[in-house]
Amino acid sequence: MATRKLGILPCQGACNVGNMTHKVALKFVDNEKISMVCSLGLPLAIPSIIDMAKANDHFIALNGCPMKCSSKALDKVGITDYEEIVLTGDFGIAKNKNFADETGMDEVEAKVKNSIEKYFAS
């Protein structure tokens, strides 16, 4: 049986929640079972980035705010098999321009870890 692959697409927002999604994603990416692609490459239709994204069997769309840019980027290239996490809505984290504000990041990390474990256990 082939190894299942999971992608995590963090938000690239210029705010605290965008920064947190990126930091959390990088804690789990190993480029073997769990990978990350350039989120801008998807809606910009860069073929190699789309191909890398489509090599994953499932994604976690790690959105910072209700704009859900990570989810929209995946949708844009026809990737619909993803779990959607939104920091502001799911965790009540306030969006602000203080990049040092990592309030609630431990909860987000625990949720992503749980999602990864559930995906690979199924």
3-state secondary structure 59-70: EEEEECCCCCHH
Using 50, 70 and 90 to split pLDDT, how confident is the model at 1? Answer: low
SS3 83: strand
pTM of the model: 0.95
Closest CA to 68 of 23, 12, 2: 12
Q: Check if the beta carbon of residue 19 is closer than 8 Å to that of residue 49.
A: no
Q: 10 Å Cβ neighbour count for 82?
A: 20
What per-residue confidence (pLDDT) applies to 14?
95
Residues 80, 30, 96: CA angle, nearest 5 degrees: 65
Residues 8-30 have pLDDT tens digits of 999 989 999 999 999 999 999 99
1 compared with 82, residue with greater pLDDT: 82
Query: What is d(CA 26, CA 2) in angstroms, rounded to the nearest whole number?
Result: 24
Per-residue pLDDT of 25-38, as tens digits, reads 999 999 999 999 99
